[in-house]
Amino acid sequence: MKTKNDFIKILVEANIPSNEAKIEVELILEKVTGKKLEELLFINEFDEAQIMPYIKERIETKKPIQYILGYAHFMGEKFIVNSDVLIPRDETEILIREVNKEIFKGAKILDIGTGSGIIPCMVGKYSKEKNLEVEILGADISNGAIHIALDNVKKLNLIRTCIFRKSDLFSNIRSDEKFDIIVSNPPYIPKKMYETIQDEVKFEPYNALFTNDDKGLYFYEKIIADAPKFLKKGGFIFFELMQGQADDVFKLLSDNGFKNVQIIKDLANIERVIKAEI
C-alpha cells in the first residue's frame, strides 16, 4: 500500500513537474477507486497493484494522462478523448462562456474544428438548461474527431441539439445554411514552434495544433474571409486566440466587414478570445 504523496513522488522523480504530478495522481486515484476528489481526502493508502500500471505507462510513454485514462475533465464534465482529438484546455471555457452570453431561442451555431466536441456540448448543455433549443453543427476535417465528438454528445444526452459533419473549413457547409453564431478554436501554433513545445503535447494531433504560416494566422484568415457568406445579418463570430495574436485577428475582422470587435482577456490578462458582429 502507498500514500497519494508516494505516487506523486514517483512522478516528480521522473521529471514531471510537482503541480502536474499531483493533479495526475488524483485523476488516477479517481479512476481506480471510482471516488470523487473530496472523498479521496479521507483515504490514506491505496493499492499499488491497481495504480502503478497507470504511473508506469505515464513515465515510460510520456503520453498525457488524459489519453491513458481515456477522458479529460472540462467544465465539470468528463469528456472522452483519444489521440485523434486535442485534450480540452481551460482557456476554452472563456470562449464557451462568451458564446453562451449571445445564444437565444432557436439560434443556429457552427463550430469549426470541433475536435472532441467540447464547444457544442457545453453550449448545448447551457442552452438546454435555459430551454433555448439551439442547434449546433460541429465541423472537423478529422473523421476520428467526429467519432469522439459524437460519443461525447451521446454521453451528455445532447443528440437532439448537436450534430457533426466532416468538413474542411466551410467546404461541406451548403451555401443556403446560415448561422447566427460561428465559433472556432482553430489550430494556431506556428509550426516553427514545434521543437519548443512539451513532449506530451506532441502526442496530440499535429493538425489540431499547428499551422504552416509564421504567425499562426492561417485559419483565422480563411474562416474570416468566408464567414460572412454563412452568417445571418447581425450574427457573431468568436475565436480563441494564442497570446499575441489579438491585434492581427482584430485587423482581419475589421478588414472583412466585421464591426464591434471585442477582445476578452483571461485571468492572467492575456487576450484570449475575440468576438465581432457582421
Ligand X SMILES: C[S@@+](CC[C@H](N)C(=O)[O-])C[C@H]1O[C@@H](n2cnc3c(N)ncnc32)[C@H](O)[C@@H]1O
Interacting residues with ligand X (CB under 6 A)? 86, 88, 92, 112-116, 118-119, 139-142, 145, 167-169, 185-187, 207-208
Instruction: Locate 55 and state its grid cell.
Output: 504511473
Least distance CB 38 / ligand X (angstroms): 27
Least distance CB 29 / ligand X (angstroms): 25
Spell out the residues 6+ positions from residue 51 whose beta carbon is closer than 8 angstroms to its own.
2, 7, 28, 29, 32
Least distance CB 259 / ligand X (angstroms): 25
Instruction: Locate 83 and state its grid cell.
Output: 489521440
Least distance CB 53 / ligand X (angstroms): 28
Query: What b-and-e string marks burial along 266-275, b requiring 16 or more CB atoms within 10 Å of the CB?
Result: eeeeebbbbb
**Amino acid in the structure at residue 174:** R
CA distance from start to end of the chain: 61
Instruction: Locate 198 and state its grid cell.
Output: 512539451
Instruction: Locate 214 and state its grid cell.
Output: 509564421
Q: CB nearer to ligand X: give 21 or 110.
A: 110
Q: CB nearer to ligand X: give 10 or 139.
A: 139
Least distance CB 64 / ligand X (angstroms): 13
Kindly list the distances between the CA atom of residue 187 and the CA atoms of 6, 91, 169, in Å, as whole numbers in the listed order: 38, 14, 12
Report which of 259, 248, 257 is spatially closest to residue 220, judged by C-alpha positions.
248
Q: CB nearer to ligand X: give 16 or 173.
A: 173
Q: CB nearer to ligand X: give 47 or 177.
A: 177
Least distance CB 174 / ligand X (angstroms): 16
Q: CB nearer to ligand X: give 27 or 208.
A: 208
CA gap 226, 186 in Å, rounded: 15
Q: CB nearer to ligand X: give 54 or 236.
A: 236
CA gap 211, 13 in Å, rounded: 34
